[in-house]
């Protein structure tokens, strides 16, 4: 039975609560002046990710302002390719830069041998957070889904059309399966260590799953997620796991039924009435305010929030965004959002 002080875990356990728990993707981020100051102290984004004291600090910053019901480890999905031996750098204004692996011949550059040594500071961050969080606040660990992490490994950076990875995956599916298998194993080991260090729930971010064909989605999103879930549950049978396959649309039913995830994260484009009538009957859902409303604020933000609460509030539900908070967001709008939800 989950800790009854933690409404986030109660919702994941299937309870319908009068006030849904709330946390926001990228709640620790550049919209907060205190985050920007800590990031400057760290030196670089990666330095911040690998400094347990500072990563713990930025994770706690939004809790001091908004008392969210869950904290999510501050890190990045690309620590996995770095741990496997792929060169990673973040360039100001350009985002992540990796040495691309464009076909199966490049897989020999990857190795599982040193992953825990590389990821050790992140496990330390989880442990520090587990000790530091208030009793009513749940701790979420996370990783990127194998397909999404692979997009960066193959493209070498963010992409708009994902041409290189789709060419690799569709042109040499067995070779591409090898990369996905490596990522399933590395992600499993990484997440097991996070839970061992104190994470109470895991979220898998499959941010770019929506660019795949139906067969591709089944092969490289559903199947790898199913394997990771089974691997984690073999060690921690009651571990709550949230899957967030952004852009999955009608695939969400198959994703929920076939992967075994506890809950499904919703992007902002999913029709809520359909969710309430179909997906929410299968288990808890999380989402899905468009982050742009946190920039515009005003009555429109409140009206859209009310619509989400009214449509999804009659079943197990966690309030969140449909994607991460953007740097242009006003902290005051986040405060208004949280107060509106909690004062219903």
Residue whose C-alpha is closest to residue 194's, from 149, 148, 239, 260: 239
Active site residue 65: no
Distance CA 101, CA 192 (A): 26
Residues 6+ apart with CB under 8 A from 255: 221, 222, 225, 243, 245, 248, 261, 264
Q: Among residues 47, 51, 13, which one has the least CA distance to residue 238?
A: 13
Judge contact between 248 and 220, C-beta under 8 A: no
Q: Which of 26, 166, 219, 246 is catalytic?
A: 26
Distance CA 316, CA 334 (A): 23
Among candidate residues 230, 272, 277, 223, the one with its CA nearest the CA of residue 245: 223
Distance of CA 137 to the CA centre of its chain: 17
Concatenating the DSSP letter of every residue in 133-179 gives S-TT-EEEEEEE-HHHHHHHHHHSS--SS-HHHHHHHHH-HHHHHHH
The verdict on whether 293 is a catalytic residue reads: no
Active-site residue identified among 152, 190, 219, 267: 152
Q: What DSSP line would sit under 219-250, residue for residue?
A: IIIIHHHHHHHHHHHHH-TT--EEEEETT-TT
d(CA 119, CA 161): 30
Q: Which of 39, 166, 219, 246 is catalytic?
A: 39
Q: Which of 10, 50, 66, 76 is catalytic?
A: 76
The size of the chain, in residues, is 344
**Over the range 223-233, which residues count as b (16 or more CB within 10 Å of their CB) and which as e?**
bbbbbbbebbe
Residue 39 bears catalytic tag: yes
Distance from C-alpha of 253 to C-alpha of 66, rounded to nearest angstrom: 33
The closest of 26, 38, 9 to 326, measured between CA atoms, is 26
Is 246 in the active site?
no
Whether 76 is catalytic is yes
- Residues pairing with 138 in the sheet: 70
Distance, C-alpha 301 to centroid of its chain:
23
Q: Which residues are catalytic?
A: 26, 30, 39, 76, 152
């Amino acid at each position: 039975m989950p800790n009854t002080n933690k409404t986030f875990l109660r919702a994941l356990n299937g309870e319908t609560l009068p006030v849904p728990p709330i946390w926001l993707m990228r709640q620790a981020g550049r919209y907060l002046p205190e985050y920007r100051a800590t990031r400057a102290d760290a030196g670089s984004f990666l330095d911040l990710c690998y400094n347990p004291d500072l990563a713990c600090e930025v994770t706690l910053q939004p809790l001091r302002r908004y008392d969210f019901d869950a904290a999510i480890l501050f890190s990045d999905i690309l620590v996995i390719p770095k741990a496997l031996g792929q060169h990673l750098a973040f360039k100001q204004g350009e985002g992540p830069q990796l040495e691309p692996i464009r076909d199966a011949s490049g897989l020999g550059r990857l190795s599982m041998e040193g992953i825990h040594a590389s990821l050790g500071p992140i496990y330390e961050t989880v442990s520090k957070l587990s000790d530091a969080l208030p009793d009513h606040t749940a701790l979420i660990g996370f990783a990127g889904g194998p397909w999404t992490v692979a997009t960066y490994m193959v493209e070498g950076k963010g992409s708009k059309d994902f041409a290189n990875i789709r060419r690799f995956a569709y042109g040499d599916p067995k070779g591409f399966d090898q990369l996905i298998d490596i990522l399933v194993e590395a992600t499993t080991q990484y997440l097991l260590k996070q839970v061992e260090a104190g994470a109470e729930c895991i979220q898998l971010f499959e941010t770019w799953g929506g660019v795949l064909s139906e067969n591709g989605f089944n092969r490289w999103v559903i199947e790898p997620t199913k394997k990771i879930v089974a691997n984690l549950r073999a060690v921690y049978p009651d571990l709550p796991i949230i899957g967030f396959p952004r852009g999955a649309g009608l695939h969400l039913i198959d994703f929920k039924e076939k992967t075994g995830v506890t809950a499904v994260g919703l992007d902002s484009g999913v029709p809520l009435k359909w969710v309430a009538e179909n997906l929410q009957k299968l288990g808890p859902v999380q989402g899905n305010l468009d982050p742009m409303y946190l920039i515009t604020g005003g009555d429109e933000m409140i009206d859209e929030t009310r619509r989400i609460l009214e449509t999804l509030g009659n079943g197990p539900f966690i309030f969140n965004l449909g994607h991460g908070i953007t740097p242009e967001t006003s902290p005051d709008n986040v405060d208004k959002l949280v107060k509106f939800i909690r004062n219903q």
